[in-house]
Amino acid sequence: MAIALLPGVSVLAAAQPPQITIERPWMRFIIKARPAGGFFTVHNQSSKQIELVGASSTACGMLMLHQSKEVNGIEKMLPVTSVAIPAHGSVSFHPGGYHLMCMNPHDMKIGATVPVTLKFSDGQTATKQFSVTGPGGEQSGTMRKHSH
**CATH number of the domain within which 75 lies:** 2.60.40.1890
Strands 20-28, 125-133: pairing kind: parallel
Phi, psi (5° rounding) for residue 39? Answer: -135, 150
Q: Does position 140 have pLDDT exceeding 90, yes or no?
A: no
80 found inside a domain: yes
Predicted local distance difference test score (pLDDT) of residue 26: 97
Confidence band for 6, pLDDT divided at 50, 70 and 90: very low
Predicted local distance difference test score (pLDDT) of residue 148: 37
pLDDT tens profile 47-99: 999 999 999 999 999 999 999 988 888 888 899 999 999 999 999 999 999 99
Against a cut of 0.95, is the pTM above it? no
Predicted local distance difference test score (pLDDT) of residue 12: 45
98 found inside a domain: yes
Q: Total domain count for the chain?
A: 1
* 99-123 mean pLDDT: 95
8 found inside a domain: no
144 found inside a domain: no
Predicted local distance difference test score (pLDDT) of residue 128: 97
* 95-113 mean pLDDT: 94
3-state secondary structure of 137: coil
3-state secondary structure of 50: strand
Domain interval for residue 102: 17-132
